[in-house]
Structure formats: C-alpha cells, structure tokens
Amino acid sequence: MNPTQALHDLGQRLWLDNITRGLLTSGTLSRYIKEFAVTGLTSNPTIFDQAIQNDGFYAAAIREKTEAGKSGEALFFELALEDLTGAADLFRPIHDATGGVDGWVSLEVSPLLADDTAGTVQTAVQLHARAQRPNLFIKIPGTRAGIPAIEEAIFAGVPVNVTLLFSSEHYRAAAEAYMRGIERRLAAGRDAKVASVASIFVSRWDVAIQDKVPQHLRNRLGIAIARRTYKVHCELLASPRWKQLSDSGAEVQRLLWASTGTKDPKAPDTLYVDALAAPNSINTMPEKTLLAFAEHGQVKGVLSPDGGDAEEILAAFVQEGVTEAELASRLQREGTAAFARSWNDLLDRIASKAGNRKSADQHNQRQAPLG
C-alpha cells in the first residue's frame, strides 16, 4: 500500500504545504489528491513569494491587475484568492463528503498585523467573506495579539488556522482562545460549528539547536515537543469543558504538524512524517517531502496520548541548557519576523513585475519588517 494511503487510513490527513498557479493549471494538485490522498493545502507569505518569483504564470495577471489600478496588498490578495479559491474548489468534494472536517485550504493575514488584534480580526472577516468558500481557513498567528484575534474571529464565524505555534503552552493558549470563541457563540445563540486547526511548527526546533547539543540528541527536540503537545491535546479533549462544547456541536480543533520538511541533510527526509502519525490530526508537508514519503515513507506506529518518552527526552535537553519556554518564544518571534520579511519581499516582487519599482520603494518605507 502507498505510504500516504496508509497514513490516511490510520486517520491522519496529509496536506500540501505549497501553492502555485502552475500546480493548479498543470493538473499536478489534482494528481496528488488522487494518487497520494492529499486532502488539503496550506500557504504562507514565503510560499507565495517563492511562487511569484519562480512561476511564470503570474506575470500577465500582475500586469492586468496593475493596469486596472491595483497595487500592493490589494493586488496580492486578488492573486492569492484566485489561487486558493481554485484549490478550494478542487478540495470541495472532500469537504462535502467529510461534513466539513477535511478538504481545507489556508490563507494568511498580513504578517505586518502580528501586533494588531483589531486589524487582524477585520482582515480575517473581510478575506473570508471575499473568498466565498466554506473550506477556506484564515491563518492567524498565535502571538500575544493574535490570541484574542483568534477568539474574536471564531466568535464571528471565521474558520481559523492558528499558525506559528511552537510549544504545548502556545497550543494551550490557542485552544483556549478557540473554546472561548465557541462558548461565546453558544451564549449568543449561535451555531457551535466553526472549524479550526492549531499548527505546531516542528523542524525549526532542531535547526535552532543542532550545533549546540550532542550527536545523540540531534533532530529529536522537535518530535519530543510535538509528543508533549499531543499529550496536552488529548488531555484537553478529555476535559469536562471540552465535553460540554462537543455535546453542543463543537468540532475538535485538530493539531496540525507544520514545518515537517527535514532540514538536516544527514537525517531521513521523511523524519517528521514517519514519527508523528496520529489519528484525527494533520501533517502539512512541502512537495519534496510528500513525494519522498510516498516513495519510501514508513508509518512507525502512532503517537501515544501520554506523550511517550517526550518528558525523558526533554529533560535531557534541559541538561544541555535548552529551555522550552525561552526557545519557543524566540522561535515565534523569529518566525513572525521571517514572514514579515517575506511579505515585504513579496510586495516588492509584485511591484517589480508590474514595472512599478517606485511603488515598491514607497511600500517598504511605510512598512518596516517586524523585528
């Protein structure tokens, strides 16, 4: 059996962490759906920046929109919504067949809003309304300002993919924001069914400390963090608070493993997919990782609800001076800043392709990258 189908049969969903216009027009995404059991798709500013840089399908569309008076963020979101609504339509049969559980695509709000709760909520509501697709998640970062924005977006009925989560505590904050949003909906007499996923970034942990720990601990921190987070997730689903929400019609906010491409060339290229199989969860992976897993991946059992050996491994990292809370905060700050840089690069690239370098320069003067 194809390893991707085996993972699907176990109950974990495989999503593609990529979007380009070429993936849609060439039929490649449709093929991945049929051959590799891909049931969803995620995107972020870096992915779109690379797509517009390397995919020639965008040049004509950018010129057309520029001639129509569009520029900057407005032009980008038109491009992104065209791509993601096209992808959403490909996944719509899956979405309908699973009662809205699967078949999702994700679009991120501007990373420059990372410290702006009100702006994030306003943009999330507007983008979801513009898409007019029931299977479009709006990605909101689980930052200090993002957590209340998640609650407000859920209360407003906007499906949310919480991004840039790095630890079990980050996850808990996102899960509680989701539950508060649902509780407020119930109190207001609204439907409890608003979908959400919580995206835990895995491989960046190992990149951050790979030269600072002994060889036997290399490429083990991200998986241990994921196992600890899975334990917290299972405990939350067993709590009386969640049971009451579930009985009222709320859906589980599934865990989504993100950043699951292997960064260490000496490690197996399917390391994080092999190790993080779990029912009712999601693994979103780069195209290269998807193809590698389809070819030679292995489902090596499933995650244990009690976290397995996570605490033992994390204790070994503490002995090496690695502190989860401190490093998680740093990784979230760095991730936010990286997406902000990609966002500015993206808008600059669009302006350049439109022959409007002046507009790009003006944009960069207005919006400095987050540090």
% of residues, the chain, pLDDT over 70: 96
Question: Is 39 a domain residue?
Answer: yes
Q: What is the mean pLDDT of residues 288-304?
A: 94
Region of 241 (left: φ > 0; alpha: ψ -120 to 50; beta: rest) is: alpha
Q: Is the pLDDT of residue 359 over 90?
A: no
Question: pTM of the predicted model, to two decimals?
Answer: 0.93
- Tokens 């899956």 identify what position? 94
Query: pLDDT band for position 353 (50/70/90)?
Result: confident
| Band of residue 356 on the pLDDT scale cut at 50, 70, 90 | low
Mean pLDDT value across residues 223-251: 98
Residue type, position 368, single letter: A
| pLDDT of 369 higher than 80 | no
DSSP state string for 195-257? -EEEEEE-HHHHHHHTTTS-GGGTT-HHHHHHHHHHHHHHHHHTSHHHHHHHHTTPPP-EEEE
Beta pairing partners, 15? 40, 284
Query: Dihedrals φ, ψ of 367, to 5°?
Result: -120, 95
Query: What's the pLDDT at 370?
Result: 31
CA angle 57, 58, 64 (to 5 degrees): 120
Q: Residue 173 — pLDDT band, cuts 50, 70, 90? A: very high
Q: What are the DSSP calls for 252-281, one per residue?
A: P-EEEEE--S---TTS-TTHHHHH---TT-
Number of domains in the chain: 1
Quick check: helix, strand or coil at residue 148? helix
Asked, for residue 2, whether it belongs to a domain, the answer is: no
Q: DSSP character for 100?
A: T
Residue 369 domain flag: no
CATH code of 323's domain: 3.20.20.70
Predicted confidence band at 56 (pLDDT cuts at 50, 70, 90)? confident
Reported as a pLDDT band with limits 50, 70 and 90, residue 301 is: confident
pLDDT tens digits, residue range 14-33? 999 999 999 999 999 999 99
What's residue 361's pLDDT? 44
55 pLDDT band, cuts 50/70/90, is confident
Average pLDDT of the residues in 118-135: 98
pLDDT, mean of residues 205-230: 96
Distance (Å, whole) CA 5 – CA 38: 9
Residue 140's beta-bridge partner residues? 162
How far is 22 from 87, CA to CA, in rounded Å? Answer: 11
Here the tokens at position 29 are 């995404």
User: The tokens of 97 are what?
Assistant: 């067949």
Question: Strand pairing partners for 258?
Answer: 201
What DSSP designation does 32 have? H
Token pair listed for 65: 């929109």
Task: Please give the structure tokens belonging to residue 310.
Answer: 């996570």
Split at pLDDT 50, 70, 90, the class of 181 is very high
Nearest to 84 by CA among 141, 169, 144, 15: 15
Question: SS3 of 283, please?
Answer: strand
Q: Which of 70, 139, 231, 353 is an active site residue?
A: 139
Averaged over 123-138, what is the pLDDT?
Answer: 98
**193 is annotated as an active-site residue:** no
Bridge-partner residues for 105, per DSSP?
41, 136
pLDDT tens for each residue of 138-162:
999 999 999 999 999 999 999 999 9
Residue 277: per-residue pLDDT: 97
pLDDT at residue 363 above 80? no
Output 364 or 339, whichever has higher pLDDT. 339
Task: Give the mean pLDDT of 285-295.
Answer: 97
Residue 1 is predicted with a pLDDT of: 72
Identity at 200, one-letter amino acid code = I
Residue 371 lies in a domain: no
370 inside domain: no
17 located within any domain: yes
Q: Which segment of 52-61, 148-157, 176-185 scores lowest on mean pLDDT? A: 52-61
How big is the chain, counted in residues?
371
Half-sphere exposure in the Cβ direction for 158 (13 Å, CA): 29
Rounded to an integer, the average pLDDT of 326-352 is 95
- Average pLDDT over every residue of 244-261: 98
15: closest CA among 29, 2, 3? Answer: 29
Average pLDDT, the chain: 94
Domain that holds residue 188: 7-363
**Does pLDDT of 367 surpass 50?**
no
At residue 249, does pLDDT exceed 60? yes
CA-nearest of 184, 344, 205 to 248 is 184
Q: Determine the pLDDT at residue 65.
A: 95
Q: Does a structural domain hold residue 223?
A: yes
Instruction: Say if residue 336 is exposed, middle or buried (CB neighbours under 10 Å; 0-12, 13-18, 19+).
Output: buried
Among 25-39, 49-63, 236-250, 298-312, the minimum mean pLDDT is found in: 49-63
Residue 354 has pLDDT above 90, yes or no: no
Mean pLDDT, residues 200-224 taken together: 96
Does residue 368 lie in a domain region? Answer: no
